[in-house]
């Protein structure tokens, strides 16, 4: 797809009245906006599938297929399309049903052409901003990678800078951070940027080693040194000679082994189990943990002298919750990877899926996000990942607001029970703002109304 095609915005108008089609297409014409028309709803649905317009303006009452059915089929195909319904037979019930099904707006005929131009103009501008945002995110993704690690937040740039500064010089280094933050990626980056990048990169997960075999794994053994030692064996330190040894989850290493590791770090020599002869090694050691080693020291589970030896240089990997601004880039990164892996054409996430992901706390950090996007890419049948494609446990975060939003009428004052409706609307807005963390743009998307409409309602309810 060319850059021009990516930046073009199209509007589809569906109305069984040819006069209305001509009037609306003429009135809404503007530079850079492609206008498609259909006098039959079935033909309009075909145009939606073939041309994927960003905006659909459809009449509600039409023969053979209603505007609500057009809305349903559009949402099934691509929930990111803005659909506006027009009708001369307004009712609160039909408005509620339209909003439940995902309509962006619900207009009562006769429609003011000036007001309609303004409404469509705003949607067109929003669509152009989204298209530009996608292009910018693609460009940023290309420039926001550091040795395969995605991030552009201040915390990540600071960490990248620190890695680049220490990589040429470290002999031992400690990486700390919660599970799933990407400590292993930082360790690999340190090795790749170090003077021994051509040497071996050897990994040992300390939490997966049986305690009685720890010393043999690290330092090796000689034949007959213990039951089962039928041959001489070099340990991982010897295997990593001239390169890097990455000790993941070092907080799970037994105390006895910690003492011997400290001697290796100090003397750069190892002694195989059962041997009296030390062997010189030249190994850079990277240790990583998700534990608080200071607490472990206090509880006598980790040696203080080893901690200070390792933490002469310490790199802390931030939690995903601390760098939420990286979320869109990470989403695109994983979508691109899994789309290629599964052989699918996936363009991205719908707005409501993005909002749902932005509201999640991400206790599992980047690894959890990777699993969520991988699941969604596997499940989606279309080109856009929607809320239904995400794992079920994420849905509960947005269910209360989304359900309330779906039940809210678009405009008050069109029903005799105005007081009740206005109270319900005020409560709904408060819930949306709370769920969006006070962000008005996100709250407007949750409510599926425009930002200007939200501001009007905030003023109306003195919020």
Average pLDDT (396-412) is 45
- With b for 16 or more beta-carbon neighbours within 10 A and e for fewer, the 8-35 pattern comes to ebbbbbbbbeeebbeebbeebeeeebeb
Average pLDDT (284-304) is 96
pLDDT higher than threshold 70 for residue 446: no
Lowest mean pLDDT among 48-57, 288-297, 350-359: 350-359
Cα diameter, the chain = 98
The highest-confidence range among 306-310, 387-391, 404-408, 421-425, by mean pLDDT, is 306-310
- Unique residue bearing structure tokens 């292009």: 135
> What does the pLDDT read at residue 414?
36
Query: Model confidence over 156-182: pLDDT tens digits?
Result: 999 999 999 999 999 999 999 999 999
Query: Model confidence over 379-389: pLDDT tens digits?
Result: 987 788 988 89
DSSP line for 386-412: -GGGS-HHHHHHHHHHHHHHHHS-SSS
How far apart, in whole angstroms, are the C-alpha atoms of residue 232 and residue 13? Answer: 79
> What does the pLDDT read at residue 381?
79
Average pLDDT (9-24) is 94
Q: Count the alpha carbons within 13 Å of 58 in the hemisphere toward its beta carbon.
A: 32
Question: Measured between alpha carbons, how far apart are the two ends of the chain, in Å?
Answer: 45
> What does the pLDDT read at residue 447?
65
- Unique residue bearing structure tokens 């073939």: 50
Nearest by Cα to 285 from 325, 245, 327, 235: 245
Number of helices (H) and strands (E) in the chain: give both, helices first. Answer: 20, 18
Nearest by Cα to 360 from 339, 330, 405, 338: 330
Residues 6+ apart with CB under 8 A from 228: none
| 10 DSSP β-pair partners | 34
Verify cis geometry, omega within 30 degrees of 0, for the bond prior to 110.
yes
How far apart, in whole angstroms, are the C-alpha atoms of residue 307 and residue 297? Answer: 8
pLDDT above 90 as % of the chain: 60
Q: Dihedrals φ, ψ of 46, to 5°?
A: -60, -40
How far apart, in whole angstroms, are the C-alpha atoms of residue 331 and residue 133? Answer: 14
pLDDT higher than threshold 70 for residue 107: yes
Q: Identify whether the C-beta of residue 42 lies closer than 8 Å to the C-beta of residue 128.
A: no
What does DSSP assign to residue 328? H
Residues 6+ apart with CB under 8 A from 243: 191, 196, 199, 200, 201, 202, 283, 284
Q: Identify whether the C-beta of residue 457 lies closer than 8 Å to the C-beta of residue 429.
A: yes
- Unique residue bearing structure tokens 């963390």: 437
Query: Model confidence over 33-42: pLDDT tens digits?
Result: 999 999 999 9
- Unique residue bearing structure tokens 């939200």: 454
How far apart, in whole angstroms, are the C-alpha atoms of residue 347 and residue 188? Answer: 30
Query: What is the total residue count of the chain?
Result: 463
> What does the pLDDT read at residue 136?
76
Domains of the chain, each with CATH number or no CATH: 3-140 (3.40.50.2300), 154-317 (3.40.50.300), 322-460 (1.10.8.60)
| 270 DSSP β-pair partners | 279
Nearest by Cα to 194 from 186, 183, 204, 184: 186
How far apart, in whole angstroms, are the C-alpha atoms of residue 448 and residue 105? Answer: 8
- A 10 A CB-CB count for 224 gives 11
pLDDT higher than threshold 70 for residue 449: no
Q: Identify whether the C-beta of residue 428 lies closer than 8 Å to the C-beta of residue 405.
A: yes
Tokens of 213: 């075999």
How far apart, in whole angstroms, are the C-alpha atoms of residue 442 and residue 358? Answer: 10
| Average pLDDT in the chain | 86
């Amino acid at each position: 797809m060319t850059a021009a095609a990516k930046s073009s915005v199209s509007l589809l108008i569906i109305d069984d009245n040819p006069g209305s089609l001509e009037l609306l297409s003429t009135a809404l014409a503007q530079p850079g906006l492609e206008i498609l028309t259909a006098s039959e709803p079935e033909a309009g649905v075909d145009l939606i599938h073939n041309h994927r317009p960003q905006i659909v303006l459809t009449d509600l009452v039409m023969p053979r297929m209603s505007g609500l059915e057009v809305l349903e089929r559009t949402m099934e195909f691509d929930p990111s399309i803005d659909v506006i319904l027009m009708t001369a037979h307004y009712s609160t019930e039909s408005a509620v049903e339209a909003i439940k099904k995902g309509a962006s707006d619900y207009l009562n005929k006769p429609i003011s052409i000036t007001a309609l131009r303004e409404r469509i103009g705003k949607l067109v501008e929003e669509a152009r901003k989204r298209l530009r945002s996608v292009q910018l995110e693609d460009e940023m993704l290309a420039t926001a990678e550091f040795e395969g690690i995605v991030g552009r937040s201040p915390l990540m740039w600071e960490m990248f800078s620190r890695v680049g500064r220490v990589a040429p010089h470290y002999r031992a280094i400690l990486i700390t951070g919660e599970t799933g933050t990407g400590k292993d990626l930082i360790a690999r980056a340190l090795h790749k940027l170090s003077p021994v990048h051509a040497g071996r990169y050897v990994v040992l997960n300390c939490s997966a080693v049986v305690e009685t075999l720890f010393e043999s794994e690290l330092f090796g053994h000689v034949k007959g040194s213990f039951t089962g030692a039928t041959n001489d064996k070099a340990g991982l330190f010897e295997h990593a000679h001239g390169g890097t040894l990455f000790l993941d989850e070092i907080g799970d290493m037994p105390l006895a082994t910690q003492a011997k590791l400290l001697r290796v770090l100090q003397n750069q020599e190892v002694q195989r189990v059962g041997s009296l002869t030390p062997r010189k090694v030249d190994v850079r050691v990277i240790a990583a943990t998700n534990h608080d080693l200071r607490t472990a020291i206090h509880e006598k589970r980790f040696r203080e002298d080893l901690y200070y030896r390792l933490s002469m240089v310490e790199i802390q990997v931030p939690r995903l919750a601390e760098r939420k601004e990286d979320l869109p880039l990470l989403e695109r990164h994983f979508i691109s990877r899994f789309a290629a892996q599964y052989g699918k054409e996936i363009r991205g996430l719908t707005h409501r899926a993005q909002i749902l992901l932005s509201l999640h706390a991400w206790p599992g950090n980047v690894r959890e996000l990777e699993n969520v996007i991988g699941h969604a890419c596997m499940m989606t049948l279309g080109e856009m990942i929607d809320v239904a494609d995400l794992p079920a446990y994420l849905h509960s975060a947005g269910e209360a607001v989304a359900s309330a939003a779906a039940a809210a009428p678009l405009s008050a004052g069109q029903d005799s029970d105005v007081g009740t409706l206005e109270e319900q609307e005020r409560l709904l807005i408060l819930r949306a703002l709370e769920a969006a963390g006070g962000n008005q743009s996100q709250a407007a998307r949750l409510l599926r109304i425009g930002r200007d409409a939200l501001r009007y309602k905030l003023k109306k309810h003195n919020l």
